[in-house]
Structure 1
Amino acid sequence: MAIIQFLRTVLFYLVFILQTAIVAILVAIVGLVAGGSSPMGWALARYWCASNIWLLRVIAGVRTEVTGAENIPVGGCIIASKHQSDWDVFAIFPFTGRPAYIVKKELMRIPIFGWAARSMDCIEIDRRRGAAAIPMMMKQARDAADRGRRIVIFPEGTRKAPLAPADYRQGIVRMYKELNIPVVPVALNSGLFWGRNSLLIWPGRAKGRILPPIEPGLPPDVFLERLKNTIETNTDDLILEAADQGLSRPVSPAFAERLAELREARENTA
């Protein structure tokens, strides 16, 4: 099984990387010729996300299911998603209209990819500067919100392994406070199938759950606690559900222990 899945993973990455390079070149060219956010550029971005979801299913055996799209309000909002895998970008994109993703500055420096990202309204954040990077990010985010964009942010700043301790950054709090628009939490379990540092992509059904928005105007500490509890509780639910249905990936003793502790905690609070 592992050897077959290794070959499927290698084939997926070969096609994924080649296609990503071609699409990035096309988006960059369209951006230079037609300007940023052109209809052709967005059509290419939608194709890239949809085709990657298809490739994951056909080649690697990862099916995609996202529910709760009705919870995304009309107009500008912040979509705050758990981040476990590159799958998260592909799966959320179809529900965001014309989004503005918060992207690490290192990614924006990649030739061609960075040019394409800039033409698609991506907002860059230089994590190495810490709090000093937030004002520039906020300026770009405010401009995007004023244009009715849905700003997509991963509040922990990087991909996290399933059931790893949560680490929410202050950027999402600052954005919530200053932009005064709803925040839509998103929970998911994609790391069970396409892990952060895994050499293999494992078959199964990756799920995302778009949750009811958090209204603007809450005190920052109340907002952060509500956001964290909402995302983490629903993410744990999706992980437990997938584990109960059976995982094709091997489960380490440490992960099995964390699953058992989570089940016990849920039973004690039921």
Structure 2
Amino acid sequence: MLLLRSLVYNLFFYLWTLLLMVVILPFLLWPTSRPILFIGLVWGVGNLWALRVICGTTYEFRGAQNIPDGPILVAAKHQSAWETFAFFLHFRRPAYVYKRELAYVPLFGWLIWKADQIPVDRGKKGVALASITDGAKRAVARGHQVMIFPEGTRRAVDAPPDYKFGVTHLYSELGVPCQPVALNAGLFWRRRSIIRRPGKVLVEFLPPIPPGLPPEDFAARLEHDIETATRRLIEEARAAGA
């Protein structure tokens, strides 16, 4: 039954995604990215509804009062695809740092380009940092929330942390608060798995880190705060039977 429900949800996910991409295509001619970002919110709401109805996977956001107003740097734990769409509920003007190769995916690539997201070529470190910084500064100037996964890619739930320099570099360059985010989504939507498990995904928006800290202090605090909270959320879910 778990496998069947997961397959039904995965079918919904891809059809829902394709439908919305087709619906939004005419808005590629719109002068701003707002229609694309609104469809991102609709995409997230639809996926969360389907997960609850089909798979019994619910969610709880904690600490939303901690999110500062205005442009910020959002540094989030990354365990699955779940957070990429669920974050639209709280970050309505996101500018994700994403792999440049995604820009070449038909339809999807056009939309993320129009949505003013931030591409990165991970092949050359110096070029990548310069590109991310330029894109992030433009996003902040437009009032967007710059979204970055500090470990660069999805990590298994119990994998040791592997934080990259990019998030510290952006923090130093942007001069805006950093919003750390902890979660346990990987317990229910594991990377490289088609299974979607029932239970409650927990997401916690931690106290923001103010701008201006020395880079090494920021990096140590960010990793400590996210990893400590993530372990706590994982333990809470496992105690509940996840």
Please list, as runs of the form range in 1=range in 2, the aligned pairs for 1:226-245 lying within 5 A after superposition. 226-245=221-240
- Out of 26, 44, 59, the residue aligned to residue 54 of structure 2 is 59
The worse-fitting range, judged by mean Cα deviation, of 189-198 and 125-134 is 125-134
Normalization by structure 1: what TM-score?
A: 0.87
Q: Distance in 1 between matches of 2:154 and 2:97?
A: 13
Deviation string 1:183-224 (CA, Å, 9 cap, x unpaired) is 000000000000012231111101100011001111111100
- Out of 75, 79, 101, the residue aligned to residue 74 of structure 2 is 79
Q: Distance in 2 between matches of 1:60 and 1:21?
A: 21
Any unmatched runs of 5+ in structure 2?
none
Deviation string 1:89-116 (CA, Å, 9 cap, x unpaired) is 1222111121111111122221100111
Q: Which residue of 2 aligns with 1:30?
A: 27
Q: Distance in 2 between matches of 1:67 and 1:10?
A: 30
Q: State the Cα distance separating 1:145 from its structure 2 match.
A: 0.4
Please list, as runs of the form range in 1=range in 2, the aligned pairs for 1:1-270 lying within 5 A after superposition. 4-31=1-28, 33-38=29-34, 40-247=35-242
Deviation string 1:68-105 (CA, Å, 9 cap, x unpaired) is 11111111110100000111112221111211111111
Q: Does the aligned pair in 2 maintain the 1:76–1:145 contact within 8 Å?
A: yes
Letter in 2 for 1:98: R
Q: Distance in 1 between matches of 2:125 and 2:23?
A: 33
Identical aligned residues as a percent? 42
CA RMSD of aligned residues (A): 1.2
Q: Which has the higher contact order (CA 8 A, sep 6+)?
A: 2
Q: Does the aligned pair in 2 maintain the 1:80–1:184 contact within 8 Å?
A: yes
Q: Does the aligned pair in 1 maintain the 2:10–2:194 contact within 8 Å?
A: no
Q: Does the aligned pair in 2 maintain the 1:101–1:151 contact within 8 Å?
A: yes
Q: Which residue of 2 aligns with 1:254?
A: none
Q: Which has the larger radius of gyration?
A: 1
Across the two proteins, how many residue pairs are aligned to each other?
242
Normalization by structure 2: what TM-score?
A: 0.96
Q: Does the aligned pair in 1 maintain the 2:79–2:156 contact within 8 Å?
A: yes
Q: Distance in 1 between matches of 2:36 and 2:212?
A: 35
Q: Distance in 2 between matches of 1:99 and 1:177?
A: 19
